[in-house]
Structure formats: C-alpha cells, structure tokens
C-alpha cells in the first residue's frame, strides 16, 4: 500500500511540475531588430529582405520592427507608429542610416554602419548565418493568452539553462508586436506584396510594447540545469499614440539577453485568444472601389470581418447600402475559427445616381443564426469617389510640386487611352508650375493620373504640393495631393451625370486633425455625425462651426458631413 501511494504522489508531482521548454541543447535563434519609418524610402526593401530571411529559416528568425528616428515622425494627419522604447534601442545600436538592423544586438566587425551594432540591410543575412550554427546555453518557451473580455494579454515563460555562461545574470525580455497595421509608407513599391488595394501599406512585426520594460526582467540564477518560470500580464490600451491596437493581430516574442546589449536567443510565443461570447462577429474593414471611366455606376464592395466568438463562425448576414439607399443582404457561409479573419467581395454593385463622394455602409448580423450579443462592432462605413462632371471646352491643369518635384509626373488621357497632355518631372523645390491649358471634347470621359516615383505623394510633410484640373466655368473636376505612388481622377464632359450631385469637397474643411477638444468644420452643410471605428454614432451636431469633442476617447473616428445633395466622410484622429 505504501508503494502504491508513493507512485500516485510521484505521478501527481510530475503533472504539476511538467514543463514545456526543452531540456535538450539547441542552437541560437536570430532576433532581428529593424529600425524603420514611414518616410524612409528604402525601408520597404528592408522589410522584404527581413521577411525573406525569416521565411527561408522557419522557426529560427524573429523579426521586430521598430519605428524610430526622423523618418518615423508623422506629418499632419499621419499615424504615429513610434513607442517610448525605440529611441533608447536605436541609440544603443548607433544607427547611422535607415533602414538599419541589429542581429542579436551583437557587434559584427566590418559590418557596422558606425561604431555600434547597427548594420545596413545588405549585411543581415551574412550576420545571421554566423549566429544560427552557434550553440545556445539557454532554451526559451512562451505562450501568450489574449483575453478579449478583460482586454489583457498574459504571457507565461519558461527558461531552461542547458549550458554555462561566464556572466552571472541574464535579462528576460517580452515584446508585443502587431501585424497588419495599415498606414502610409514611402517607397512601398519596393515591397509590392505589402501594398493594400487602397494604396496604403501593410506594416508587420511592429513593436507596440515591452512588457518587461526597456531592458528586460533580471534573472539572477542561470546555472546549467536551472528552470525559471515567469508570468506577465499587460492591460491593453485602446490605442497607442492614436493608432488602434488590434489584439487579434498581436504576436509576442520572448528573448534572453546577457545584459541590455547581447541577445542569446529568442522565439515567438504560441498565441491563443479568449472571447467573452460564444458568437460575435466583428466588422473589421470595408472597402469600395472608386468609380472610373470603365465603371461609371458600379463598384466592387469588400468587407473584412473577424470571428470574435469562441465558437467557429459558420454563417453571417452582410447587409450593405450605398448613399443611404435600400439595404441588400448577402448571406455568407463558411467555417471561420475563433479570432480568424475573412474577406468577402461583392463585385459590380450597381449604384443609382452616383455622387462625387459616395458612402457604403456595411452592417453584419445573425452570426451562426443567433442575435449578436455585441452589435456595437458590427458596422463599417467607407467612402469612394465617383466620376466628376464638367463643361467641354477650355480647362487648366494646375500642378504645385513639393520639395521633390523631380519625383512628380502626370498625364491626361481620353476614353480611348490617348494621352492628350502630360508633364514632369520638375525641378526640386516647392513651387506652382505654369498652368497647362487643354481643350476638353464633349461627351468624353477623361483620366488624370499623377505619379510620385518615391512613393510619398505630393503632400506628406516635405513641402505642400497638390494638383487640380479646373474647367472653363471654374468647376474643379478632380484634385488631390495626399497619396503614395499613384493618384487617379476621372471626370466627364457633357454626359448625364448631374451637376446637382457634385460635392465640391474643397468647400468643406475639417481641422485640426489630429484634434484634442474642438473640431472646426467650414463650408455649407446641414448636420454632421461622428462615428467610432465600430460604426457607432457617438456625436451629432447641427450646422455648428465648432464641435466639442473633448468627451470622446483617443482614437480614430469618421465624420459624416451632410449637405443638400451628398454625404462627405472625413477621417479624424482624437489625441489628448
């Protein structure tokens, strides 16, 4: 009997103390910290090289993208992807140019940009090949559990020492990263796989937080055969510097360093998500293609949604409407795992009486045939451009370059694809170019294409550039300036599109943006409604020039401005 009891006790002890980290000696993994920024034209090439290195060495390369430095500083209206941690890491690495990267924060003689550990992107692969064959004295395992009900992430870490070291302590670091962060990016064409359908850039492996602080959690017992366990919990804020934090796109990295400088090894955490509801569909993002000369009254509608329920999502109703018109239901069926993402496109949706600025509204409902317990996250509202209308006859094409006019070219084509006017490149330095006179035929549809070879448009903080084409009656047919590589405008001359539908967007202005307390709207409008990113109406104003938004939390919002003939939607960011 005594032997049986001892056996039961031993089995119980084994279960309680069972560990996940391997006790078998392993080679080192690479932790590549890449220093980047949205105005860095060569950074997308760095992103591509780093991702290729990661993909070619599965399970052995960890990527951490740190937005830092002058190229990461946002211009007006742009997102701020920086963190409070990046400057210190950048300074320690002695970054001399962007993009730069460190491999395990180690100094590789002959590969440094300056006197520190930062290297140019061409050296990352060579440095990694030197690290990967080396034996590591420590193994690391971790899991990250995201609780969507309490809005927390808990990270459990196990560290096991398989060898000895000449130092007496280590640092344990836990970093929270986010994938699929939409935003601007200069030079995005160098990494075409990251260009989104709307022309924005898809940022990945972006550092959002260091749970263990700037330089990690101290580990004082590191002798061979030692097992260390740690658990950390972080309450996730809604946003960071006004940029939404999406926990379903989190990835977590744990790594061990000798001090704040040398990284021994690291790895990604296994991820799991817990949701408060069995069924809950979340409307993530909507998209509608702009109208064009080839599609004057039809758009492709796209809705991306996520399963915020603990049960697989097998069906959902997608209700969509355009410009406040009748709603149509698209029944989706499939099998979407918890925290999974699905994108549905409804092609060639016909629009009755399209406007210059159009609004598409998506409302999701009935996940798995039941009432959604959380309807506040079921709506997405997007805008898309229509085709302008103007008079035949004389017109003027106006170009104001930014500080880099040599990047700007443009052309105007008729419906047959023939170029009837073009211009650029121009001399560098912000200046208004001489207007180009063109003659527009009747019953035509024209395409104005403006290109920026660097990929940051004409108005991204390096001088204020813009373009427009104005007909002989003073009507602006198309205009712009804030884009990435390409901006396209379409307009008709003498066709059926009614001038009563034209909303001269230049007459409506919303500022400041970002805004803290008071939002000003100038122009002739009847009312304005402000929606949060979930499509929930949070504020209504009736023709007030100044709107008090001080009660709204930090984050991204959409302002629907109602005029006599149309709705104009402006995107704003509230930052306090």
Complete DSSP assignment for 401-438: E-S-GGGEEEEEE-TTS-EEEEE----SS-EEPPPEEE
Between residues 168 and 511, which one has the greater pLDDT? 168
Distance, in Å, from the CA atom of 521 to the CA atom of 26, rounded to the nearest integer, reads 61
Which of 416, 554, 565, 407 lies closest to 485 in space, CA to CA?
Answer: 407
pLDDT at residue 11 greater than cutoff 60: no
Q: What pLDDT was estimated at residue 507?
A: 59
C-alpha 387/C-alpha 570 separation (Å) is: 19
Please tell me the predicted confidence (pLDDT) of residue 494. 64
Among 2.30.40.10, 2.60.40.3080, 2.60.120.620, 1.10.3210.10, what is the CATH number of 504-576? 2.60.40.3080
Condensed to tens digits (0 to 9), the pLDDT of residues 402-428 reads 999 999 999 999 988 999 999 999 999
Res. 6 pLDDT band, cuts 50 70 90: very low
Q: CB neighbours of 339 closer than 8 A, spacing ≥ 6?
A: 248, 273, 275, 306, 307, 308
Predicted local distance difference test score (pLDDT) of residue 497: 33
Per-residue model confidence (pLDDT) at position 545:
76
Scanning the structure block, which residue is given the tokens 């709603």?
Answer: 327
Which CATH number is associated with domain 281-387? 2.60.40.10
Instruction: State in words which class domain 388-496 has.
Output: mainly beta
Side-chain-side CA neighbours of residue 211 (13 Å)? 25
Asked if 572 contacts 519 with a C-beta cutoff of 8 angstroms, the reply is: yes
pLDDT number for residue 498? 32
- Residue whose C-alpha is closest to residue 255's, from 159, 137, 178, 165: 159
| Average pLDDT over all residues of the chain | 89
**Contacts (Cβ under 8 Å, ≥6 apart) of 175:** 64, 207, 209, 210, 211, 252, 253, 254, 255
For residue 567, name the pLDDT band (cuts at 50, 70, 90). Answer: low
Same fold, 26-272 and 388-496: yes
**CATH code of the region 26-272:** 2.60.40.10
**Closest Cα to residue 200, out of 215, 182, 181?**
182
In this prediction, residue 15 carries a pLDDT of 34
Contact 339, 312 (CB under 8 A): no
Q: What is the pLDDT of residue 115?
A: 94
Helix (H) or strand (E) holding 153: strand 152-161
Q: What pLDDT, on a 0 to 100 scale, did the predictor assign at position 354?
A: 85
Q: Render pLDDT for 313-365 as a digit per residue (tens, 0 to 9).
A: 999 999 999 988 889 999 999 999 999 999 999 999 988 888 878 899 999 99
Task: Give the pLDDT score at 503.
Answer: 39
For 515-560, write each residue's pLDDT tens digit.
888 888 877 788 888 876 555 678 888 767 788 888 888 776 778 7
- Encoding tokens for residue 417? 């694809």
pLDDT attached to residue 535: 54
Tokens coding 148: 């969507």
Q: Do 462 and 432 form a contact (C-beta atoms < 8 A)? A: no
Q: Which of 287, 284, 282, 293 is nearest to 359 (CA)?
A: 287
Asked whether the predicted pLDDT for residue 262 surpasses 60, the reply is: yes
Q: Is the pLDDT of residue 499 over 50?
A: no
pLDDT reading at 501 higher than 50: no
Strands (DSSP E) contained in 72-137 are: 100-103, 135-136
Give the side-chain half-sphere CA count within 13 A for 101: 29
In this prediction, residue 419 carries a pLDDT of 96
pLDDT at position 460, please?
Answer: 78
Strands 61-67 and 30-36: parallel
pLDDT for 463: 86
Spans of all domains in the chain: 26-272, 281-387, 388-496, 504-576
Which residue's structure tokens are 């919303």? 510
């Amino acid at each position: 009997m005594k032997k049986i009891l001892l056996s039961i006790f031993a089995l119980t002890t084994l279960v309680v103390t069972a560990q996940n980290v391997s006790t078998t000696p392993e080679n080192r993994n690479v932790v590549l910290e890449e220093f980047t920024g949205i105005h860095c034209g060569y950074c997308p090439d760095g992103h591509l090289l780093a991702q290729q290195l990661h993909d070619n060495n599965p399970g052995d390369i960890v990527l951490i993208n740190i937005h830092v430095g002058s190229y990461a500083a946002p211009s007006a209206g742009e997102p701020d992807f920086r963190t409070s941690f990046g400057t210190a890491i950048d300074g320690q690495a002695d970054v001399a140019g962007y993009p730069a990267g460190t491999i395990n924060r180690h100094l590789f003689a002959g590969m440094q940009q300056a006197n520190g550990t930062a290297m140019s992107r061409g050296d990352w692969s060579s440095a990694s090949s030197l690290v990967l064959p080396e034996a590591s004295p420590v193994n690391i395992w971790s899991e990250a559990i995201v609780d969507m009900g309490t809005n927390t992430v808990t990270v459990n870490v196990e560290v096991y020492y398989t060898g000895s070291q000449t130092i007496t302590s280590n640092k344990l670091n836990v970093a929270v990263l986010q994938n699929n962060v939409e935003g601007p990016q200069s030079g995005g064409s160098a990494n075409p796989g990251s260009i989104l359908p709307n022309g924005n850039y898809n940022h990945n492996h972006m550092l959002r937080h260091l749970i263990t602080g700037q330089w990690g959690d101290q580990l004082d017992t590191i002798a061979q055969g030692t097992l260390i366990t740690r658990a950390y919990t972080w309450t996730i804020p809604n946003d960071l510097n006004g940029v939404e934090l999406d926990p379903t796109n989190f990835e977590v990295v744990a790594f061990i360093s000798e001090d704040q400088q040398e990284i021994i090894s690291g790895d990604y955490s296994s991820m799991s998500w817990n949701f408060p509801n069995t069924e809950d569909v979340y409307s993530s993002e909507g998209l509608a293609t702009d109208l064009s000369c080839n599609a004057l009254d039809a758009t492709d509608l796209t809705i991306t949604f996520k399963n915020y329920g603990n049960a697989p999502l097998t069906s959902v109703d997608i209700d969509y409407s355009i410009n406040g018109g009748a709603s149509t239901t698209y029944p989706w069926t499939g099998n979407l795992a918890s925290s999974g993402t699905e994108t549905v496109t409804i092609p060639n949706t016909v629009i009755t009486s399209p406007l210059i600025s159009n609004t598409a509204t998506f409302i999701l409902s009935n996940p798995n045939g039941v009432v959604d317990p959380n309807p506040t996250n079921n709506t997405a509202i997007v805008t898309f451009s229509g085709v302008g209308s103007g008079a035949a006859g004389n017109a003027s094409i106006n170009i104001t370059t930014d500080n880099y006019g040599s990047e700007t070219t443009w052309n105007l084509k008729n419906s047959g694809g023939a170029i009837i006017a073009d211009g650029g490149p121009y001399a560098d330095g912000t200046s208004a170019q001489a207007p180009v006179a063109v003659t527009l035929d009747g019953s035509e549809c024209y395409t104005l294409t403006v290109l920026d070879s660097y990929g940051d448009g004409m108005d991204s903080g390096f001088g204020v550039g813009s373009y427009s084409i104005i007909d002989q009656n003073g009507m602006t047919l198309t205009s712009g300036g804030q884009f990435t590589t390409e901006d396209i405008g379409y307009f008709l001359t003498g066709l059926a599109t009614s001038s009563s539908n034209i909303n001269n967007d230049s007459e409506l202005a919303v500022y400041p943006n970002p805004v803290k307390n008071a939002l000003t709207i100038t122009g002739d409008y009847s009312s304005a409604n402000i929606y949060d990113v979930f499509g929930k109406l949070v504020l209504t104003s009736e023709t007030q020039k100044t709107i008090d938004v001080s009660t709204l939390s930090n984050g991204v919002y959409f302002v629907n401005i109602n005029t006599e003939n149309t709705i104009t939607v402006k995107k704003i960011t509230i930052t306090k």
